[in-house]
Structure 1
Amino acid sequence: MNTQNKYKYNPIFEAISLALVLLVSPAINAAENVWETIEVSAQKRNENISDVGIAITAFSGEQLKALGLESSTELIAFTPGVSLAGDIGGQRAIFNIRGVVQNDYADLAEAPVAVYVDGGYLASTQAQTFGLFDIKRIEILKGPQGTLFGRNATGGLVNTITAKPTEDFEGYAELSIATFDQYRFEGAVSGALSDDITGRLSAYSNIQGEILENIYEDGASPDTRPGSVGGGQDGYNDDTQALRAQLDFNLGTDGSLLLSANWADTTKSEGPYQVVNTTEIKDADGNVIDVIFAADDPLGCDAIQLGQCIDGNFNGDPVRPVQGGDFNGNIDPDGSGPKVNKDFAFDDQNTIQSQGFSAALDYSFDTFDLFSLTDYKKFDRTVGLDSDQTASPELIFQSNSTIDQFSQEVRVSGDADNFKWVTGLYYLNVETDYSQGLAASPTAYFLGGEENNSLIKLETQSYSIFGQIDYQLQDQLVLVTGLRYTKEDKHFVGDVYQNTNTDDRVIEIDLDSASLEHLDTDNDQNLWSAKIQLEYSTDTDLYYVGVNRGVKAGSFNAPLFGGFSSYKPEELTSYEAGMKLNLSDETALFNANIFYYDYSDYQSFSWVNNSGLVENQDATFMGLELELFLTPSDGLDVILNTSYTDAKVENLEVASGIFADTTPAFTPEYQASAMIRYNWDWNEDNIAVQFSANYQSETFHNARNFTAHEIDSYVAANARLTWTDSTQLWTATAYVDNMFNSEHEIIGFDVTGFYGTSQISYAKPRVFGITVKRSF
């Protein structure tokens, strides 16, 4: 694969980057440190993060700004043991915590890492990639969190808490301008509306131009067949608008009612994949036992069986028309560079709209506290994607989905002389209408002029009762026990239709035609999670060891060409020990934890030639995570962290009748990151310089772990220079993201048997920008 740089050497960028790394200035009246311990709500109550016996990485809103984190998934770089999975070229991103991931792209799937915003669960993975704006705090909890948070928190939890209304008037407006014509705005205004009502209004806008340059319209296509009408546009853009409004009603000294509404709308190009040509290796029985890069195939074959070329495409040619090309002779114009040659490419193809409403009631009685959260969310998404990512008009993947969800949680909590307790009830209803399929151009060699779609309806109703008790055995020793029971009922209706394709960009289903496959069934489950843990604390330190049982609900497979099936819940028993140490007069915080996961019926998602399937497997994971937060002097902040993960899925069927132990997709063995930030007062103003970098070892984008599925290791680095005026009302930041222009891969899908290619998306290239913020 060609890995030449996308951009020519730019001395201005290099000079800025070097200056930010090497800048040194005498510290006169040094400013306060940015990094400090914060309160979290990991156990459904507010506690100092150092006092909670859970492996947590948390960021306050101020820290997010200092680090330059603008989206939910950017947190991954600073969180040991957490990596990125997803699809649609990264337009949908999924958190992978300690190897716990299910990379099913279908909108009816739920992830094993639960994501919450202001206490409301995001049932759809399509909603888990969102811009961070007007945030109070984000918490990433590792390990099973099912006792307090529910059935789909096997791997952990990402909990986002937005900024709330204030009695005093406050607000801010922030504008960023960056390369690729990016304009990002964030703002909020908050204050009292009356003696008993406060409000807050937050707004967000991100407009980014295209990164990928499509040369298709320049006549560079090697394929003479008619392509998609209006196709060939540039891609990898974003147009997102969002609003959030909150009203907080004072119910006296003992309670409050918070009403919240949110809306967001996003339009993007089709998934920003690029093409890498690949070749299947087959055994004597025709089983695919490996996939290699076509450039590494000296024979230039469609596939290789026992060292011999075989015909694997659909136009009758015995071998690929061009050495190292795909089945139609296409080769990416510049490898991993920004130029592409794509037929099905539109700058406004994919859209997602969301809206939500919630009501949170907090009330304190004499002996207990009552909390109630009523939450409604709706998501609509349209996706179109070129399956082969080349100039050839072949198969177009497309999907539409509407997801309505409603949840109600009621819990009570309290404490006595020697114990704390919380208990509650939870109800969740999710209704999913989902269609997905492949549309073939009339000239396509496979399914020419046809459209094949699956039409799915899935309703989930989930009822839970849960509780946790922290019992103080001795002054410094606490026993934590928790239990959750969940009854979950799923009703699935699926049909497969085939009809003529007249418009690649629109799903067309002829409901008057006969369904080729029909399934109407239920998948009802009784699930339970539990926790038992011992915690020993001193005045400064905390040590904990425990056993935790998590569970993720079973669901249904809905492949593109039919073959509906169900899979069982996954059950995880986690053994974990950790410590949180305050060192050097609390100028250093060190966190360490080790874990061992014993899985039963792990839900492993395998992708083979335009179709995916979840199967239950046994699995064992183990690992180590270390975090160090240093404030060695006034104005100097240092973060260092690293993790090791050894995750194995046992006896996965990687080919027909061939089984192997594999690593879960998107699970690196090693990760590390570092951040150093130094700020000082200068002429009554403040200057801060920051450099950060993160490393990730090799991963696979496919659970089968073939050669061409490997994503190489990488190092990425960012730098920032910030000025704040003496009144702290004005802030200006200059930044460089991906400052050394790393071209590392992010997401991939293997379609070698269909087109002789794999779809690969790459990290955004180096971005230079400025941000100006005005507080008032």
Structure 2
Amino acid sequence: MIKIHTLTLKLSLLPLAVITALSQAQASNPPEEVASSPGVFEQILITAQKREQYLNDVSIAVTAFSGEQMDKLGFDDSIDLIAFTPGVSLAGDIGGQRAIFNIRGVVQNDYADIAEAPVAVYVDGGYLASTQAQTFGIFDLARVEILKGPQGTLFGRNATGGLVNTITAKPSDETEGYAEFTAASFEQFRLEGALSGSLSDSVRGRISILSNQQGEILENIYQDGSEPDTREGSVGGGEDGYNDDTQAIRGQIEFDINDNGSVLFNANWAKTTKSEGPYQVVNTTEIADENGNIIDVIFAADDPLGCDKIQLGQCVDANFNGDPLRPVQGGDFNGNFDPDGSGNKVNKDFAFDDQNKIESKGLMATVNYDFDFMQLVSITDYKKFTRVVGLDSDQTASPELIFQSDGDIDQISQEFRFSGESDSLSWVSGLYYLGIDTDYIQGLAASPSAGFLAGEEVNTLADISTDSLSLFGQIDYYLSDSLILVAGARVIKENKSLDGLVFSNANTNDRVIEVDLNGVLFEEAYLDNDQNLWSAKIQLDYSPNTDTLYYAGINRGVKAGSFNAPLFGGFSRYKPEVLVSYEAGTKHTLNEGKVQINGSLFHYDYADYQSFSWVNNAGVVFNEQANFTGAEVEIFLNAGEGLDIMFGMSYVDAKVENLEVASGVFKDTTPPYTPKLQASGLVRYNWDIQSGNVAVQVSGSYQSHTFHNARNFTAHRIDSHFKADANLAWTDNEDKWSVFAYVDNLTDSDHALIGFDVTGFYGTTQISYAKPRTAGVTVKRNF
């Protein structure tokens, strides 16, 4: 079972609309404005319940940031949102090149393209089926909404933990636009811009662009054929890494449909080229019991004997070279060490500055029409994602086992949504279809001199098809002026199929997957996983006055089951997970809106929780029983003219009960990337000068230790860390020019972020670390 106790305490300088994101007042009353010097305060309309509402009218846990706020706070990618969203932490893979949101401990850190996360991500109402697309760049946005807890009634798709709802800036009637340029450390140059306006009396358009170039952060000291590994390296390898080359464009055109509606067409394209995942090596050692089961993994530096592997206190030959000891105590099986620990130097052959490529394309048509008695919204969405990823799975200096993954995902969705309201009732209902076709190949390629699979590669090929159809609805019924009943449900019919192969063939090029179906076939599978699913919600909201809210409800969410397609075979099905959430909360506004206090209690009861376990380059999802229990508190304080303060804290006690960490070995574990304690704080002060307004901001965030593997072995621990940032901004009196100077990671913290354990192959674990201290300046011109 999983038990989580969460406490979040927040005194915020963010706009009252943001800090009251977990709050609700009566729907007819917009939030009060807070008197202060110009800053980040503003009222925000969101669509967390599929209709426009002010944040403090929404009786769910939601934090939202407007595009203007994100500019002022210095957010430029999805990862930046996490530090300022209580209860949200980071998971992912490829050394952080792909981020996965963990909300209230709900996460499935499956790196495969066939997997969908339990925290859904939407852009303009369109679902992103591929987790590879969830590390999105933030540019020209209207707002981002982060919803906590099950959202299955209105959003449906795999949103057991919550969802991230991103809304882009839309075409405007008046001509407007901006150009923004950033220059920062590591030769980063970022250009962003947009132009919007009317093309005729009934037609509007908007075009937005993003270009980001960042040089390499990691310095590679690899020398081909040098000690202790004298084998020949890869052609062209040994390059520096941890860079970025991202280009994106979005075009929108909107047509009026007489006076009652509009149709908006959106076309978007983005492409990112990066080095291989910025992992670094940490040498580790397996501990086995009398049956050979791996019951722990420790850091090799903590083994005074320098064993390949330890079984019942004795050294075991795990490298199959006839010697149970490593060449050097604390090194990997070949005697290598990372040159400077968690610093910016690496020593690895398989390192190329253009190894990983991710591309996305999309077309969307959104129709809004008002029939007087109801409103219609139709969203037709097509997306295509392609990804080519390669990395040194063991991070040893010489070429050993190279992980390769190619993904090609096509998806199409159609939503018809109807809504209306009367004096005592607001309602939303609709029909939703989603089709996904995924072609996925992953494999391990071994160099000719490698000790395992020498000169061969083993590939898993999977073709997944998903068809999902659902019917949903929700009502808000006023039992009295102060008491509202919220009720909703969604029924889902989902059909899934998998065609899979596992085969091996010769490896002639480590950098690409070589598919030769005339090779040796190990496994062939044809599986179905058809499901009938349902979500539901019932809740009471009580507002004795416009400054106070109490609410309590039960919410049932579901994430569809799918397939395991691990390396070396073993295709299998796993069942859907069901989460029943019990949540109660209260919100209070004090001192004429200058103080906001929000608190909530929740209990999550899981059935068939989808737990992802990683063992030596293979990941598998198992269904487990789990439950989470927690509490959240937020406090916002406007401390004086121009001074805003935020402090946040969360406490988490999480357990997965009876997880099988080895064959026949069971123990309670903590879900990966779920810290027990999180804290964040931010202070912003702004004042007027003759030429405009100046604002200074400092912020910091802390999280306690986590584990990067569900098995929670000793070396799976990611230590606690603290990160601090600061910025200084100037805006002219006409709000046309602004200059924003910042320093991220003030203390130059080198804390670990993401890891994968591959100890059984070469005595190593791969870890990615936070970016070092970074300084930059952004100049923006509005017009």
TM-score range, shorter chain: over 0.9
Q: For 1:30 and 1:37, locate their aligned partners in 2 and report how far apart those are by CA, in whole Å.
A: 14
Aligned length: 748
The amino acid that maps onto 2:610 is: Q
- RCO higher in 1 or 2 (8 Å CA, sep ≥ 6)? 2
> Contact 1:623/1:643 (CA < 8 Å) preserved in 2?
no
Name the SS of the counterpart of 2:342 in structure 1. coil
Matches within 5 A, 1:118-267: 118-217=124-223, 221-267=227-273
Contact 1:53 1:543 in 2 (8 A): no
Corresponding residue SS for 1:617: strand
CA shift, 1:219, in A, is 6.6
Q: Does 1:763 align with 2:770?
A: yes
Q: Secondary structure at the match of 2:602?
A: strand
Tell me the equivalent position of 1:279.
285
Deviation of residue 344 (structure 1)?
A: 0.5
1:569 corresponds, among 571, 576, 600, to 576
Partner residue, 1:582: 589
d(CA) in 1 for partners of 2:228 and 2:76? Answer: 40
Describe how 1:14-163 pairs up with structure 2 within 5 A: 31-163=37-169
Matched, 1:689 2:696: yes
Correspondence 1:468 to 2:470: no
- Give the drift of 1:592: 1.6
In 2, Cα distance between equivalents of 1:597 and 1:137: 28
**SS state of the match for residue 426, structure 1?**
strand
Contact 1:221 1:341 in 2 (8 A): no
Corresponding position of 1:292: 298
Quote the residue 1:739 is aligned against.
746
Deviations 1:71-125 (A, max 9, x none): 0121000011100001110111100001110011110000000000000000000
Give CA deviations for 1:577-621 in whole Å, capped at 9, x if unaligned: 122222210012222212111100000000011111100000111
Question: What residue number does 2:711 align with?
Answer: 704
Judge conservation of contact 1:151–1:527 (CA < 8 Å) in 2: no
Q: What is the deviation of 1:284?
A: 1.6
Q: Give the whole-Å Cα distance in 1 for the aligned partners of 2:745 and 2:499.
A: 45
Q: Distance in 2 between matches of 1:47 and 1:634?
A: 28
Deviations 1:16-55 (A, max 9, x none): xxxxxxxxxxxxx973241344221110001111111101
Match of 2:17?
none
Is 1:754 the counterpart of 2:754? The answer is no
Return the letter of the residue paired with 1:769. G
Hey, what's the Cα distance between the residues in 2 that align with 1:387 and 1:153?
31
Q: 1:514, CA displacement in angstroms?
A: 5.3
Contact 1:589 1:629 in 2 (8 A): yes
Contact 1:94-1:125 within 8 A present in 2 as well: yes
In the alignment, does 2:396 pair up with 1:413?
no
Distance across 1 between alignment mates of 2:498 and 2:717: 35
SS at match of 1:193: strand
Q: Residue in 2 aligned with 1:22?
A: none
Alignment of 1:237-636 (within 5 A): 237-513=243-519, 515-537=521-543, 538-636=545-643
Deviation track 1:360-413 (CA, whole Å, cap 9, x = no partner) reads 000001210000000000000000010111212211000101000000000100
**Residue pair 1:97, 1:156 contacting (<8 A) in 2 also:** yes
In structure 1, distance between residues paired with 2:599 and 2:68: 25
Q: Which amino acid aligns with 1:68?
A: G
Distance of 1:244 and 1:457 partners within structure 2? 30
Amino acid at match of 2:745: N
Structure 1 length-normalised TM:
0.95
| In structure 2, C-alpha distance between the alignment counterparts of 1:622 and 1:227, rounded to whole Å | 51
Distance 1:105 1:534 in 2: 39
Local SS of the residue matching 2:56: helix
CA contact (8 A) 1:85 1:103 kept: yes
1:161-219 deviation line (CA, Å, top 9, x unaligned): 01111000111000000000000111101100111001110000110000000000377
Q: Evaluate the alpha carbon distance shift between residue 206 and residue 699 of structure 1 in structure 2; reply closer, same or farther with a 3 A threshold.
A: same
Distance, in Å, in 2 between the alignment partners of 1:37 and 1:579 is 21
What is the distance in 1 between the residues matched to 2:660 and 2:303?
25
Superposition deviation, residue 672 in structure 1: 1.3
Structure 2: how far apart are the matches of 1:454 and 1:305?
Answer: 32
Matching residue's letter, 1:281? I
Q: Please state how far the C-alpha of 1:729 moved relative to its aligned partner.
A: 0.6
RMSD after superposition: 1.2
SS of structure 2 residue aligned to 1:147: coil
Pick closer, same or farther for the CA change 1:725–1:661 going to 2, 3 Å.
same
Query: How far did 1:633 drift?
Result: 2.5
Q: What do the CA deviations read for 1:496-519 (whole angstroms, capped 9, x no partner)?
A: 111010000110111234532111
Structure 1 unaligned blocks of 5 or more: 1-28
Which whole-Å CA distance do the structure 1 matches of 2:63 and 2:358 have between them? Answer: 29
* Deviation (angstroms), 1:306: 1.3
Instruction: Kindly indicate whether the alpha-carbon contact (under 8 Å) linking 2:556 and 2:579 is maintained by their aligned counterparts in 1.
Output: yes
Task: Give the whole-Å Cα distance in 1 for the aligned partners of 2:234 and 2:613.
Answer: 30
Cα distance 1:657–1:53, how it changes in 2: closer, same or farther (>3 A)? same
Partner residue, 2:6: none
2:722 to 710, 715, 719: 715
Contact 1:411 1:422 in 2 (8 A): yes
Partner of 1:11: none
- Matched letter for residue 116 of structure 1: Y
Q: What per-residue deviation string (whole Å, max 9, x for no partner) do you get for residues 646-683 of structure 1?
A: 22211100111110110000001111111111111111
CA distance in 2, matches of 1:405, 1:99: 28
- Whether the aligned pair in 2 keeps the contact of 1:33 and 1:634 (CA below 8 Å) is no
TM-score (norm 2): 0.94
Q: CA deviation at 1:253?
A: 2.1
| Percent of paired sites with the same residue | 68
Does the 8 Å contact 1:625/1:641 carry over to 2? no
Give the direction of change, closer, same or farther, for the CA distance of 1:458–1:218 in structure 2 (3 Å limit): closer
C-alpha distance in 1 between matches for 2:752 and 2:519? 42
Could you tell me how far apart the structure 2 residues matched to 1:363 and 1:643 are? 43
- The residue aligned with 2:651 is 644
Q: CA deviation at 1:65?
A: 1.0
Residue aligned with 1:66, SS: helix
Q: Secondary structure at the match of 2:209?
A: strand
For 1:708 and 1:516, the matched residues in 2 are separated by: 33
**Maintained 8 Å contact 2:225/2:231:** no
